[in-house]
Chain A
């Protein structure tokens, strides 16, 4: 089945993007990624630990780069300036890598995005040649502006980062999906498989998640569940679901030839 997700001109088989944070260890990270079937994995950029590096395992050694496309993020950045600086470092770290996830946060308590700083950073990064997948609120006006700036994917939240609260405003997501000509991916808030399926049934092009897998009792099994959910939701969207009716006078079985002669 050729139903690939195309981001910035590159085609991916999986519509599930997975983060690499909060797992027990790098082995579990690698197993969960494998079970998820994902092609794109997010990584964060942080200061190296000085003085205690010798022999310390490195995440990148557990992520075969011929298998996964790395998506460096700007998690933890609260200004356009910090986000831009982080992604310039990421580009150097990953050998002129261009595909990035921009997220600029506005509140350290609820991690809600700061859309003003996000817009500012997006302008600079797009001008510098980055392919910017942008995390944002589910505001369709901001989403449109980010697309006009040249972001290659719009990634509205379903609910707050790490909350597992699921899709709180499917109607806003629907507005963003309908107006966008670049891929729209739900990023943040998915808690379990049905949330991912609902996102895909709404018409999202993909789903990005981390905590829903990493914080599950069995992360590897949940990664598998998410793979199935994203595939099922996508297939259901493509299949075009039946219309909803409050009730139907048309049963699935024939009305003729019933042995009873009684009618209600």
Chain B
């Protein structure tokens, strides 16, 4: 399936949920926040939020800034 993540088109084997994507990206246990098609997906909902071909996601972290 194809997903647009942080503006980049990425190819994945079928992923059912946001939690599976987080795992595929090796982000398990990291402090990240996920937005799916413009809506925030709370961490508690990662395992329930379903993914479909062509979904757009933003995945962010905290970095140094002033």
Complex interface bits, A17-50 against B, C-beta within 8 A gives 1, otherwise 0: 0011111001001000000000000111111101
> Does B25 have its Cβ within 8 Å of any Cβ on chain A?
yes
A70 touching B64, Cβ below 8 Å: no
Residue of A19, A59, A93, A208 near B60 (CB, 8 A) is A93
Prevailing SS type, chain B contact patch:
strand
> Does B40 have its Cβ within 8 Å of any Cβ on chain A?
yes
Residue of B10, B27, B33, B64 near A93 (CB, 8 A) is B33
B62 touching A53, Cβ below 8 Å: no
A21 touching B65, Cβ below 8 Å: yes
B62 touching A48, Cβ below 8 Å: no
Q: How far, in Å, is B38 (CB) from chain A's closest CB?
A: 8
> Does A75 have its Cβ within 8 Å of any Cβ on chain B?
yes
Contact (A58, B25) CB under 8 Å given A19-B66, A93-B32, A209-B66: no
List chain B residues, Cβ under 8 A from A19.
64-66
B66 touching A53, Cβ below 8 Å: no
Contact (A93, B66) CB under 8 Å given A50-B6, A53-B26: no
- The listed residue with most B CB atoms (<10 A of its CB), out of A23, A46, A86, A211, is A46
Contact (A75, B66) CB under 8 Å given A50-B6, A50-B25, A53-B26: yes
Nearest neighbor of A88 in chain B, beta-carbon distance: B40
Residue of B10, B33, B40, B66 near A21 (CB, 8 A) is B66
A54 touching B62, Cβ below 8 Å: no
B65 touching A48, Cβ below 8 Å: no
A96 to B24, alpha carbons, bound, how many Å? 26
Please tell me the size bucket of the interface on B. Answer: 20 to 34
> A-side interface residues toward B, CB under 8 Å?
19-23, 26, 29, 42-48, 50-51, 53-54, 58-60, 70, 72-73, 75, 85-86, 88-94, 161, 208-211, 214
22 contacts across the A-B interface (CB closer than 8 A): A20-B64, A21-B63, A22-B64, A22-B66, A23-B64, A43-B63, A43-B65, A44-B62, A45-B62, A47-B58, A48-B6, A48-B27, A48-B30, A48-B60, A50-B5, A53-B26, A53-B27, A58-B31, A59-B64, A60-B31, A90-B33, A214-B66
Additional A-B contacts beyond A73-B65, A75-B66, A93-B33 (12; CB < 8 A): A44-B63, A44-B66, A45-B61, A50-B59, A53-B25, A53-B26, A53-B30, A59-B63, A89-B58, A90-B62, A92-B34, A214-B66
